[in-house]
Amino acid sequence: MIQSQYDSPSGRLHMRKGRLQRHVVLRRHPVLVPVVLSGCALALCAVSFYANSLFPLFALIGVPSQLLCLLLALVLGISGILTSIVGLIERMDRSHAQVQNVSEYKGGNIV
């Protein structure tokens, strides 16, 4: 079986018609991942104020837990922003490709 003809019954990532398909949940809710990443970043920022009392084990071994929480929050925040930008670009590219397909099908340009 050719890889481009593979159809997964579980709805996981698979190649079809030369394009990578998303999971069913991500197709229904495309902003779910950026919102969850940004929400986790905000939660870790709030946790960093109380990190020394929430994670006393890190304080015992000498790891600055507040800095660790802020670093993870920064990484999650940047990941959320980049994921939302990529989602916007994909959405614009998808709509542009649909317009091209319609104009080719009708045999003329759409004004």
CB-based contact 52:44 (threshold 8 Å): no
pLDDT tens digits along 35-69? 999 999 999 999 999 988 888 888 888 888 899 99
Helix axes 65-106, 32-48, angle to 10 degrees: 170
Which position has the higher pLDDT, 96 or 43? 43
Instruction: Look at residue 62 in the predicted model and tell me its pLDDT.
Output: 86
Of the pLDDT bands very low, low, confident and very high (cuts 50, 70, 90), residue 98 is: low
Domain boundaries, the chain: 1-30, 31-111
For residue 97, give both structure tokens.
């490709």
